[in-house]
Structure formats: structure tokens, C-alpha cells
């Protein structure tokens, strides 16, 4: 893991809004933190730090506007000479790295996704394992005890529904366990990947207790949304939970703009996929049914829970350190 070093310090009274926007715009591996009554800008790469220092000094003195600064790649070792531009390889953390020195570039690259100790994300790892365990149960016809039986007809009161029957039998776990069952290996793989990318950063920051409550509440919400939308269809999968994590991340990124454990583009791609599924395009192209209500229910529940969490001060846990 890279050692974070201090590039520049600012007084507490300095408004770093423009700097925050600059960092977000170019997805720079930088963090802002407060220590000893000052604001520090941290970077994991000494070369990038040296390159940015002159820019920061000029901005701090009021000589230039960071909102007007543009970054571009160094080509053939020739830096850009214009005063309001900074030459940098935005996909390489090492400033001045060229094709003539690929080993240096590869060794100093900063990972897009952060790594976390496995003991900080036990629930996420369990959910990933459950994706594949649920697929194993399904292909071996062992998953019926985890699913909500489909209703043959929706023209009866809830008291006569299959879900009501499950609850009368004390089978309350069926409210949650459809999220475990996956009907294909690709579905299990995609959801496991979603948990790895979205779940681990959220669990590592919020803690496993908060994370498991988030997962349980959103699994409940997404399963009920899908059942009441299409009670006559058998459904399963952890996509509703994944979309709850998308909603949770979207809210957190508004409360903590410098939190970059989850790249901003990932929730955006997930929302585009949600739209394609809801419009029926995915089903039309693949012939595979999609639990759209579970996706939407999970997303909305994640948004609501995140708003409550942040309103209670939980967003502080996601401040860059």
C-alpha cells in the first residue's frame, strides 16, 4: 500500500472547494485532511507531488484559477509550456513516465480501486460466497426452501397469498433469502463483483454492524418490492442489494465529495444498466427475465437509508484520511 505524503498545507480558513473540484475532475489520487490546525493535501506519489507543488503555490497566491486549469499527458518527454496547464499522465501516477521506462510506470501506478484488509470486510466476503452457494443450491434443485412460492393468481387478498402462508408457517427467513439464490453462474458472478466493488469500501468505512443492517433492510425491501410487483413469478438474486449499495454510494458521494473508494463512474454505469433493464432492452436482447422491481426497490431503500445515516453523522466515517 502506498505511503501518503504531505504535498502542501493550507490554513483552516482557506476554502478548498476549487481544489476539491480539481481533484474530482481529473480523478487524482489526492486526499485532504485536517491535522494540527491546518488542512493538508496528501499524495501517495512523490513524483506527482513535486509536479503539483508549483501549481498549488500559484493557486494559493491567487495567480491562477484551478477551475480553468487543464491537465494533459506528456508526449515524447516534452512538457506543456502554457502557464495554465499542468502536464501529467492521468492514468499513471508517476509524473513524466514514458514508454521508454515502462517498468517504472507499472511499479508506481496507483490502483483505481483501494484495497482493504480482509478482516475489515467479513460480511462482504460472506455475501460473495453466498452468491455462488445460492447458485449451487439452485442448479442442484435445493433452493426451494429459500424462495417465496409464486402465487398462481393475484386476484385474492394478501391473507390468501403464498407469502402470507410462509409467514403463518414461521418461515420468515424467506423475506430475505431469495437474495441468496442465483439462477445462472453469470448472474452470481456479476453480483459478486458488485459486492466486491461497492460493498467492501462501504463496509470497511461504516463497520460490519452498520453494513449488515443495510444489507438486511435492503434485501427485505427489494424482495418485497419484486413480490408485490409480480407475485406470480419466481425470483432471486442479490441484484437488489447491489443496487442498494449503488444508492448508498450516490448519497455518500454528495456528503463527502472527496471520498473516492468507489469511482464516481461506477454508480453511473449501474444506473444506465438499470434503465436498460427497466425499458426491457436487456430482456429483448438476451431473452432473460429481469427483476426490475427488486432493482428499483433496492436502489430507493439504499438512498433512504444513506440519507438517514448521513443525517445522523455517519458520513464522517467516509472523510478521506
| pLDDT tens sequence across 206-246 | 999 999 999 999 999 999 999 999 888 899 999 999 999 99
Which are the catalytic amino acids?
Answer: 239, 295
* 231 and 210 in a common domain: yes
Query: What DSSP letter does each residue of 189-218 carry, written as one string?
Result: HHHHHHIIIIIHHHHHHH-HHHHHHHHHHH
Q: Listing from the earlier edge strand, what are the strands of the sheet with 38-43? A: 5-11, 38-43, 31-35
* 139 and 269 in a common domain: yes
Q: Is residue 195 part of a domain?
A: yes
Measured distance CA(247)–CA(267) in Å, rounded: 8
CB 95 within 8 A of CB 50: yes
Instruction: Out of 53, 80, 108, pick the residue that ends a domain.
Output: 108
Instruction: Out of 55, 79, 108, pick the residue that ends a domain.
Output: 108
Q: Is residue 277 part of a domain?
A: yes
> In whole angstroms, what separates CA 321 from the centre of its chain?
18
* 193 and 127 in a common domain: yes
Handedness of CA 298, 301, 303, 306 (dihedral sign): negative
| Cell numbers 433496492: residue | 298
* 290 and 156 in a common domain: yes
pLDDT at 64: 81
Please state at what angle helix 239-255 crosses helix 208-229, rounded to 10 degrees: 120
Taking the alpha carbons at both ends of the chain, their separation in whole angstroms is 14
pLDDT at 153: 64
The CATH number assigned to the domain holding 201 equals: 1.20.1540.10
pLDDT at 297: 96
* 29 and 163 in a common domain: no
* 132 and 77 in a common domain: no
Measured distance CA(200)–CA(15) in Å, rounded: 32
Q: Is residue 75 part of a domain?
A: yes
Residue ranges in the chain whose pLDDT is less than 50? 1, 73-112
pLDDT at 157: 80
Parent domain of 182:
118-318
* 132 and 64 in a common domain: no
* 176 and 157 in a common domain: yes
CA distances from 254 to 169, 217, 259, 319 (A): 44, 22, 9, 12
- CB < 8 Å & 24+ apart, contacts of 154-162: 154/231, 154/232, 161/231, 162/231
Query: For residue 233, how many other CB atoms are within 10 A of its CB?
Result: 13
Q: Is residue 268 part of a domain?
A: yes
Measured distance CA(52)–CA(50) in Å, rounded: 6
CB 143 within 8 A of CB 181: yes
* 169 and 250 in a common domain: yes
* 222 and 157 in a common domain: yes
State the alpha helices, DSSP H only, in the chain. Answer: 17-26, 46-60, 102-108, 122-139, 162-168, 185-194, 200-206, 208-229, 239-255, 265-278, 281-286, 292-311
**Could you give the number of structural domains in the chain?**
2
* 28 and 51 in a common domain: yes
Please state at what angle helix 208-229 crosses helix 292-311, rounded to 10 degrees: 140
Measured distance CA(206)–CA(255) in Å, rounded: 14
Q: Is residue 113 part of a domain?
A: no
* 296 and 199 in a common domain: yes
Cell of 70: 487543464
CA distances from 143 to 140, 174, 219, 237, 311 (A): 8, 11, 17, 12, 39
Q: Is residue 170 part of a domain?
A: yes
Kindly give, in sequence order, each residue whose CB lies less than 8 Å from that of residue 289, ignoring residues fewer than 6 positions away.
Answer: 233, 283
Q: Is residue 261 part of a domain?
A: yes
Q: Is residue 15 part of a domain?
A: yes
Instruction: Out of 48, 74, 108, pick the residue that ends a domain.
Output: 108
Amino acid at each position: 500500500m502506498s505511503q501518503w505524503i504531505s504535498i502542501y498545507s493550507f490554513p483552516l480558513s482557506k476554502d478548498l472547494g476549487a481544489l476539491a473540484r480539481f481533484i474530482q475532475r481529473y480523478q487524482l489520487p489526492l486526499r485532504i485532511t485536517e491535522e494540527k490546525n491546518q488542512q493538508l493535501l496528501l499524495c501517495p506519489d512523490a513524483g506527482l507531488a513535486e509536479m503539483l507543488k508549483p501549481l498549488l503555490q500559484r493557486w494559493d497566491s491567487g495567480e491562477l484559477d484551478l477551475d480553468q486549469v487543464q491537465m494533459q499527458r506528456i508526449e515524447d518527454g516534452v512538457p506543456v509550456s502554457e502557464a495554465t496547464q499542468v502536464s501529467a499522465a492521468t492514468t499513471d501516477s508517476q509524473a513524466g513516465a514514458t514508454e521508454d521506462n515502462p517498468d517504472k510506470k507499472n511499479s508506481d501506478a496507483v490502483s483505481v480501486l483501494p484495497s482493504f484488509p480482509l478482516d475489515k470486510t467479513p460480511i462482504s466476503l460472506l455475501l460473495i460466497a453466498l452468491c455462488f452457494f445460492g447458485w449451487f443450491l439452485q442448479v442442484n434443485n435445493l433452493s426451494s426452501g429459500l424462495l417465496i412460492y409464486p402465487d398462481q393468481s393475484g386476484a385474492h387478498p394478501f391473507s390468501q397469498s403464498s407469502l402470507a402462508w410462509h409467514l403463518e408457517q414461521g418461515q420468515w427467513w424467506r423475506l430475505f433469502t431469495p437474495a441468496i439464490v442465483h439462477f445462472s453462474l453469470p448472474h452470481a458472478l456479476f453480483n459478486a463483483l458488485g459486492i466486491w466493488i461497492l460493498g467492501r469500501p462501504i463496509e470497511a468505512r461504516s463497520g460490519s454492524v452498520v453494513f449488515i443492517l443495510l444489507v438486511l433492510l435492503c434485501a427485505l425491501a427489494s424482495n418485497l418490492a419484486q413480490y408485490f410487483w409480480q407475485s406470480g413469478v419466481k425470483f432471486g438474486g442479490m441484484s437488489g442489494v447491489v443496487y442498494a449499495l449503488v444508492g448508498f454510494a450516490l448519497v455518500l458521494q454528495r456528503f463527502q465529495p472527496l471520498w473516492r473508494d468507489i469511482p464516481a463512474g461506477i454508480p453511473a454505469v449501474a444506473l444506465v444498466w438499470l434503465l436498460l433493464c427497466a425499458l426491457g432492452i436487456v430482456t429483448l436482447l438476451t431473452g432473460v427475465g429481469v427483476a426490475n422491481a427488486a432493482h428499483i426497490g433496492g436502489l430507493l431503500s439504499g438512498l433512504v437509508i444513506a440519507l438517514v445515516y448521513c443525517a445522523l453523522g455517519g458520513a464522517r466515517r467516509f472523510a478521506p484520511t
